[in-house]
Amino acid sequence: MIGQVDFNQGLYYLNGFPITKNSDFSPCNMLNCAKSDIDTWHYRLGHPARRITEHICKAFPYVQSKCSDVCDVCHLSKQHKLPFCKSDTVSDSCFDLVHLDIWGPISIPSIHGHKYFLTVVDDHSRHTWIFLMQAKSETRKLIQNFIIHIKNQFDKTIKCFRSDNGPEFNCVDIYDTYGITYQKSCVETPQQNSVVERKHQHILNVTRSLLFQSNMPKAYWCYAATHAIHIINRLPTAVLNNKCPYEILYKKPPTFLNLKVFGTLCFASTLDNNRTKLDPRARKCVFLGFKTGIKGYVLLDTLSREIFITRNVIFYENIFPFKAVEQCIQTNGDHHDSDFLLKEGDHSPNNSKDLQQTFLRKNIEDNIETESIPDSVSDISSTNEDNDQPSDNSQGSRDTNLRRSERQRKAPLYLKDYIHQVNNSMKP
């Protein structure tokens, strides 16, 4: 049913959608999810500046972006840029100089309880890592692990760390052990720490873009920030003569073939051995990014709210399920048909904020203790992009990446296979 008409004097008058409070034919019931006409590559790449997009389009012909449309998300997320003095000098080689800084605290903790992240920027490649933290006191252990990781993965010893005057960075005993010089900026002169300060600004711009474009609750900022880093490390920058940090560090260009729009609708295939003939063949999900070291997409199940990783996914990159929730509420005034996120027994919130809060609360309750996805989903163990990327609809899925829908409070199986990648001590 599309609409209703009245017949009067030989003419049909279209009344449009019959929107009534309990109508079975409201737009929401018909559409279910919000569709929009978007510049998909611009969204996939986290809303980069036009010159960056143009450069990528030239270097990667399969990337096609109009580059010309006005983008609301860009304005909302990065219109007010803080001025930073330009630093165009780079070190001679990777890990000669590494910048450190802590961002936070944020008033809205992530769904896993993070309030901070430690940012690490290699001066030469500008490759960036972030480590999510619940408390600043985790910094010391993270720095120590980072030093060991770089030694093992790149066979390099960090020569110098530079940070502001934060007491968390005062780990002189560690620096001495590894023979690392430590430089800190003068008091109240953040300009001396401008590389990492500007990187923070960039990370937050992209993080905001990803959250705005998808309308996801802010508590998912941890996934948005992690995905932002994944994108930023692959974007060309003028400081590197239009090469990207990934290319400088790994000495080969990145691929964008598996990149998807953050927060979009997707369907993950269910496992053969976990279903009967009559069980659903797929789970309805939202895309949350990648997990380094595992070939798969990090997904949020829209019904069970479980966060899990799988390879067998079909994407609908112009549909944002969280936007659908908001539109349903705005259109209908109530959300009886926005079944998308609510379980039985949930009370009807009056606006999207309430709905998101309800959803968020449930996530915190459900996920913090049972969550199986490691919190820090950074690029740190990525030394080979080919091994790092999932492929769409691949039949060669590792079953251990999937879990049954029934919640089980036990360690996830997939970690067994990747224990060398998931260094617990690197995990915030």
Indicate the DSSP class of residue 193: G
Residue nearest to Zn ion (CB): 71
Minimal distance, residue 238 CB to Zn ion, in Å? 19
Listed residue (187, 165, 236, 197) closest to 84, CA to CA: 197
Minimal distance, residue 77 CB to Zn ion, in Å? 8
Element (H, E) at 337: none
> Is the CB of 47 or the CB of 260 nearer to Zn ion?
47
- Taking the C-alpha atoms of residue 387 and residue 12, their distance in angstroms, rounded to an integer, is 60
Give the β-pairing of 265-269 and 282-290.
antiparallel
Minimal distance, residue 150 CB to Zn ion, in Å? 34
Phi, psi of 63 (to 5 degrees): -90, 115
> Is the CB of 67 or the CB of 271 nearer to Zn ion?
67
> Is the CB of 73 or the CB of 288 nearer to Zn ion?
73
Cα–Cα distance list, 39 to 42, 67, 265, 357 (Å): 5, 8, 16, 30
> Is the CB of 73 or the CB of 225 nearer to Zn ion?
73
| CB 223, CB 363: distance < 8 Å | no
> Is the CB of 127 or the CB of 202 nearer to Zn ion?
202
Minimal distance, residue 78 CB to Zn ion, in Å? 9
> Is the CB of 46 or the CB of 109 nearer to Zn ion?
46
Indicate the DSSP class of residue 351: S
218: amino acid identity, one letter: K
> Is the CB of 72 or the CB of 365 nearer to Zn ion?
72
User: Is cis: bond before 61, omega within 30 of 0?
Assistant: no
**CB atoms closer than 10 angstroms to residue 59:** 15
> Is the CB of 45 or the CB of 249 nearer to Zn ion?
45
Minimal distance, residue 43 CB to Zn ion, in Å? 7
Minimal distance, residue 71 CB to Zn ion, in Å? 3
> Is the CB of 74 or the CB of 261 nearer to Zn ion?
74
| CB 427, CB 132: distance < 8 Å | no
The DSSP code sequence of 18-81 is ---TT-TT-HHHHH-SEE----HHHHHTTS--HHHHHHHHHH-TT------S--HHHHHHHSSP
Beta bridge partners of 289: 298
Minimal distance, residue 325 CB to Zn ion, in Å? 22
Minimal distance, residue 213 CB to Zn ion, in Å? 7
**CB atoms closer than 10 angstroms to residue 395:** 8
Minimal distance, residue 69 CB to Zn ion, in Å? 8
Q: 3-state DSSP call for residue 358?
A: helix
Residues interacting with Zn ion, by CB under 5 A? 47, 71, 73-74
Tokens of 256: 């964008």
Minimal distance, residue 321 CB to Zn ion, in Å? 20
Q: 3-state DSSP call for residue 384?
A: coil
> Is the CB of 71 or the CB of 160 nearer to Zn ion?
71
| CB 230, CB 371: distance < 8 Å | no
Contacts made by residues 2-9, CB under 8 angstroms, sequence distance 24+: none
Element (H, E) at 281: none
| CB 270, CB 281: distance < 8 Å | yes
